[in-house]
Structure 1
Amino acid sequence: MRKDLQVDSEKELSGKTVLLMAIATGIIVANLNYIQPIEGLIAASFDVSKATVGVVAMLTQLGYAFGLLLIVPLGDVFNRYHLIQVMLGLSIIALFLAFLAPSIEIFGLASLLVGITSVAPQIIIPYAAFLAPSLHQGKVLGNVLSGLLTGILLSRSFSGLLGSVLPWQYVYLIAAIICALLLLVLHRYLPRDPRSHSSMNYGKVLASLPNLLFKEPHLQGSAINGFCLFGVSNVLWSTLAFYLAHTYHYGSGVAGLLGLLGITGVLFASIIGRLVDTYSPRMTIGLGILFSTLAFVLFALFGHMFLGLIVGIVLLDLGTQFGQVSNQAIVQSLSLKASSRNNSIFMFSYFLGGSLGTFFATFAWSHFGWTGVCSVAAVFLVVAILGHLVLKEPQKLQRSK
């Protein structure tokens, strides 16, 4: 990177800009999680099985994974200021389609499109890393990712509570209106991209992805770890509403309220970023695996006790955040020129794990109950531990130029 460009970038990244980026990532990523607390309501509305709605929820995650693979790499080629706004506009259209869907088939298509188009946060994250001062990249990423996690947890609460008082379709209508307001704010206040236009075309960008993965062992490690930890997270959140209804006879409102327990991860996001900068991403990823494992030990042994469920959710969200911030810091340290493509590979694996976690967990719930759900999580955690031992994360970050 040219020295003058670095100086100009750092001037752009004020505290207000970081806050705007954090808020934007939170609002947009929320689109992916609205379905989780209201799956039972959707099943009843369309008169389909819970397993069918589980497949629709998986389509949202799977669509996001392919959006990450096919769209996010364009951040290394096109102007990110414009690309972010284009994708946000398309997600607004997809949300309106979900609101108007007359059948489960149309709603499934809309959910797939919501996933594909809601990738702007994964363009914003490498953009923030690009603009961030080198010595504070972990802190900046932690702050932006805290917005991401806030969006995830508040989306569950928003969706669950709104679904308990209004028809569930209004969740998507209100989400579309919020995203439209965000689009106006981003158009006015998001920093302009200072980079010159890249000579790479779309075909070359996509063709470069396998080579980037094969030549970067740390990218491989982060991809496997993200796959497993987000898969574990979705194992819980895709079945929690079913478990609460079956065990405690609670509705979507309680499932939404439990999402607020993820505030622990939000509060720790900036601290985790500082730990990554100061100490070791290998250490913080190890902590993420540990917290996630302890969470499902609690779910398996004490899930029938509400206190055990609460403590487990706090640990799980904390583990997810430790993994997310640490892995993003590793991925964004590898190459500035390929930051969007590296992020695309990592987040594709991340949400592929999430979609498979959703699918296998809902399948396990339908056939084996809560024991089956915890068993699916155990498989993801074993793979995470093996990846952590074999593909060692860096002890210290060194940002590439």
Structure 2
Amino acid sequence: MTGSSRLGRGLLLLMSVATGLSVASNYFAQPLLDLIGRELHLGTGEAALIVTVAQIGYGGGLFLLVPLGDLLERRRLVVSLYAATALFLLVSAAAPSGPVLLAGTALTALASVGAQIVVPFAATLAAPEERGKVVGTVMTGLLLGILLARTASGGLAELGGWRTVYWVNAALMALLAVLLRIFLPALRNEGGLRYPALLRSTLALFREQPVLRWRAGTAALSFASFTTLWTSLTFLLARPPYTWSEAGIGLFGLVGVVGSLAATVTGRFADRGLVQWTTGVGAVLMAVSWLPLGVGGHVLAWLVVGVLVLDLAQQAVLISNQNVVYALRPEVRNRLNSALLTSHFAGGAMGSALASAVWTHAGWHGVCALGAALASGALLLWTGERISARRTAPPAPQPPPAASPASPQHDADPPNPTPHPH
């Protein structure tokens, strides 16, 4: 059975929605940090820990759980993780205190990596000539989930308080677990390894694949820059000169939707052999985006421009990273995805933690300087990768010297010294 026959449009749409709603579980709290902090008596730094814990939990799940996609039957694994996510969202919804909410957040993030098993699942089902487009489509759903989570949570919080967000998402995740069990095909990759060996082999990929090391570093720094913005943006918009409500802050997440649509376009570029160019342009745009963001501390129009450019750039870097890494060793695609995205979300956790600390001591302009430095680091790593690739590339084969028509058996003889007539 061909890849294209196993992945129809309906299944691709379901997988895209499933990735979006799963990863959204980790971002609902971002526009609600002030509200949650007031109700649970948390300071600004403690409230920001909700975002950091979500990133750490997600990174842990990427390393500990995603490689299981190369060992276990994937449909069963995905359905189990979606059901667990629904359960842990209920813990967060009923949390009576900050520590319980942090625990629920960490467990939800750990289980929500089911989305990152769905992405290589779709890549495996896709026909080879459409793999970039399919990965881009599924990732568009994932990225829309990240961005629309803020809008949905702001609106739901206005209607019924911040806990309503978690109740609703828990119900949706339970529904998705049922739908994925019904419509996903059974798919098992016989890895031939026990779990400890599976984790060791994931770590070994960093040693064996230089391209993975470069791309993991680029992913970490670029996503750190991205989360630097979205962690601190809530505090900016909640205070003068903006002083927006939770719903207004949530609606601002719609600005990033335009940037998320770059995921599909990036996937098409990958199918056309332009993946390196896409990464470089994305890294440059990410660094440049912090200039209008700096002005956006007091001017809304420039803030919108900066967010649009940063989101577009982040999607370009992420999708091109995935397409490069997935092509290294298709038979261990889940482990490659685990290695890349563990680095990616570790960088996100670092960005969130640094952003909350810098906001406290240096305000918005300090945050912008941090974001620009992280993005510039991603650009430097991509440049280093390209230089390294040129140095290690095998020399182009030289064509053999042309044989003399009169005596083809003397190819190695010195040329005739008689000058060529003019």
Residues 307 and 164 of structure 1: is their aligned pair in 2 closer, same or farther, counting only changes over 3 Å? same
Q: Is 2:234 the counterpart of 1:241?
A: yes
Distance 2:296 2:30 in 1: 22
Q: Which of 26, 40, 62 is residue 68 of structure 1 equivalent to? A: 62
2:186 paired residue among 175, 181, 192: 192
In structure 2, the partner of 1:53 is 47
TM-superposition CA deviations, 1:138-180 (whole Å, max 9, x none) = 1111111110111111101001222223210111010001111
Query: Does residue 178 of structure 1 match 2:172?
Result: yes
User: What's the counterpart of residue 3 of structure 1?
Assistant: none
Does 2:216 correspond to 1:216? no
Q: Tell me what 2:143 maps to.
A: 149
In the alignment, the residues of structure 2 paired with residue 32 and residue 46 of structure 1 have an alpha-carbon distance, to the nearest angstrom, of 19
Residue equivalent to 1:299: 293
Q: TM-score, normalised by structure 1?
A: 0.94
Equivalent runs, 1:209-358 vs 2, <5 Å: 209-247=202-240, 248-358=242-352
- What is residue 399 of structure 1 aligned with on the other side? none
User: Which of residues 359, 369, 390 is equivalent to 2:384?
Assistant: 390
Distance change (3 Å), C-alpha of 1:384 and 1:74: same
Q: Distance in 1 between matches of 2:131 and 2:318?
A: 14
Q: Secondary structure at the match of 1:337?
A: helix
Match of 1:207 in 2: 200
Contact 2:29 2:153 (C-alpha < 8 Å) held by counterparts = yes
Q: What stretches of structure 2 of length at least 5 have no aligned partner?
A: 391-422
Equivalent of 1:376, from 370, 374, 390?
A: 370
Long gaps (5+) in structure 1: 1-6, 396-401
Q: CA offset at residue 126 of structure 1? A: 0.9
Distance across 2 between alignment mates of 1:270 and 1:250: 32
Q: Does the Cα contact within 8 Å between 2:53 and 2:105 map onto a contact in 1?
A: yes
Is residue 241–residue 251 contact of structure 1 (8 Å, CA) maintained in 2? no
Amino acid at match of 2:346: L
1:363 aligned onto 2:344: no
Find the aligned partners of 1:160 and 1:289 in 2 and give their Cα distance: 30
Change (3 A) 1:354 1:205: same
In 1: Cα distance, 2:311 partner to 2:264 partner: 15
Give 1:86's aligned residue. 80
Q: Which amino acid aligns with 1:143?
A: T
Q: Give, in whole Å, the separation in 1 of the partners of 2:78 and 2:42.
A: 36
* Structure 2 CA distance for aligned equivalents of residues 9 and 81 of structure 1: 16
- Coordinate RMSD, CA, aligned: 1.5
Q: Which residue identity does 1:81 align to in structure 2?
A: R
Residue 132 of structure 1 is matched in structure 2 by 126
Aligned residue in 2 for 1:97:
91
Quote the Cα distance in structure 1 between the aligned partners of 2:52 and 2:196. 28
2-structure distance, mates of 1:84, 1:109: 22
Secondary structure of 2:330's partner? coil
Q: Distance in 2 between matches of 1:241 and 1:251?
A: 10
Could you list the per-position Cα deviations for residues 271-319 of structure 1 after superposition, in whole angstroms to 9, with x for gaps in the alignment? Answer: 1111121132111111211221222111113431000011111111101
Identity value in percent? 33
Give the number of the structure with larger relative contact order, counting CA–CA contacts within 8 Å between residues 6 or more apart. Answer: 1
| 3-state DSSP of counterpart to 1:174 | helix
Q: Distance in 2 between matches of 1:184 and 1:343?
A: 25
Question: Alignment partner for residue 101 of structure 2, among 95, 107, 121?
Answer: 107
Equivalent-residue separation in structure 2 for 1:79 and 1:275 (angstroms): 32
Q: Is the contact made by 1:149 and 1:265 (CA closer than 8 Å) also made in structure 2?
A: no
The answer to whether the 8 A contact 1:94-1:110 is kept is yes
Distance in 1 of aligned mates of 2:137 and 2:332: 22
- Tell me how far apart the structure 2 counterparts of residues 155 and 297 of structure 1 sit (CA, whole Å): 26
Q: Quote the residue 2:110 is aligned against.
A: 116
Conserved? CA contact 1:220–1:391, under 8 Å:
no
SS of the residue corresponding to residue 120 of structure 1 reads helix
Question: What is residue 4 of structure 1 aligned with on the other side?
Answer: none
Please say if 1:165 is aligned against 2:159. Answer: yes
| Secondary structure in 2 matching 1:317 | helix
Q: Provide, for residues 125-148 of structure 1, a one-character-per-residue CA deviation record: whole Å limited to 9, x for no partner.
A: 111111111111111111111101
1:185-220 deviation digits (Å, cap 9, x = unpaired): 111111221x45332110110111222111112211
- For 1:201, give the aligned amino acid: R
User: Aligned residue pairs: how many?
Assistant: 388
Q: Provide the rounded CA distance (Å) in 2 between the counterparts of 1:13 and 1:335.
A: 21
Greater Rg over alpha carbons, structure: 2
Corresponding position of 2:397:
none
